[in-house]
Homo-oligomer: A and B are copies of this chain.
Amino acid sequence: MVLTLYGYPISTCSKRVAVVLHEKQVPFKFVTIDLATGEQKAPVHLEKHPFGETPYIVDDDGFVLYESRAIARYIEEKYAGQGTTLIPRDLKAKGLFEQAVSIETANFDPYASKAAQEKISKPAMTGLAPDEAYFESQIKELAKNLDVYDKILSKQKYLAGDEITLADLFHLPYAEALPYTGTKVIEERPNVARWLSDLRARPSWQAVKDGVSGTA
């Protein structure tokens, strides 16, 4: 039995889990749930993920878990001794890690995800034109926050210090999507650009960026 990841190959949240599985060198099966047809709302999946979303995992012993960031933490903890260490052990370093994790969900994801959804997913899924004013309002908020990221990243290599953590990897799926919206919020900020280019170059991201597939 191996861990099975249920998701959609090009979904940002599925990539968020897959990149961590690669960093931790954990082999996994991948089962596609077709978000385009709404398969995630089928009873067999709702039983595993009551919010009717993806991804979720079924671990080798049957343990079920959803929410991409929670799965990533579980994988890091279960396989603490292998692959890249992605959560610091020391009390204060861990505090700064949790601060960085919280910055991602509060200051990056809400704006980056809405901008990418408006400009990329909405036209692709519905054929409707993006609402440019709404898109710009999200980019404006994101830009303000990335100014602070740029200051933080001028003093340290990664968001929680000089070592990579889950907090950095959590940004990758939407950071990768942003340039396709036409915005330059990342490349205009040298330290943010350097940080993301470093993350993007990792073999783990190269393995999943164009679509997740299983390794077991």
Contact = CB atoms under 8 A, between A and B. Distances in A.
A203 interface: no
Contacts of A73: 94-95, 98
Interface string A119-159: 00000000000000000000000000100100110000000
A96 B77 CA distance: 13
Q: Is the interface of A mostly helix, strand, loop or mixed?
A: helix
A91 B91 CA distance: 19
A84 interface: no
B69 A98 contact: yes
B110 A95 contact: no
Q: How many copies does the complex hold?
A: 2
Given A51-B148, A70-B102, A110-B110, A94 B65 contact: no
B78 A91 contact: yes
A66 interface: yes
A50 interface: yes
B99 A70 contact: yes
A96 B107 CA distance: 25
Contacts of A66: 99
Interface string A161-176: 0000000000000000
Interface of A: 50-51, 63, 65-71, 73-74, 77-78, 91-92, 94-96, 98-99, 101-103, 105-107, 110, 145, 148, 151-152
